[in-house]
Amino acid sequence: MANIEINAEQKAALVQKLQVYMEQELDVDLGQFDAEFLVDFIGDNIGGYFYNQGLYDAQQLISSKIDLINESLYELEKPVD
């Protein structure tokens, strides 16, 4: 599996969301460095679970779309004697 990479803008948004969450929900003031470290940890150690679930969801969606295409192709068949 390739590494999951996010750009600097996305990481900054994640860091900010984490800092806000920690402050509002846990009353913890999380500094920039600590928040970045935690985002990296989550991405490295937990992110794969979310990534894999996204793949499974995509597989199910593609499979259902292929089923619809197959049904549509079947409807195009001409009767033969």
pLDDT cut 70: percent of the chain above it: 98
Write down the pLDDT at residue 40: 94
Distance CA 65, CA 79 (A): 25
Stretches in the chain below the pLDDT threshold 50? none
What pLDDT score was predicted for residue 3? 76
Mean pLDDT over all residues of the chain? 94
Look at the block and give the residue holding tokens 């150690």: 45
Q: Do residues 18 and 28 lie in contact, with contact meaning Cβ atoms separated by under 8 Å?
A: no
Residue 1: predicted pLDDT? 60
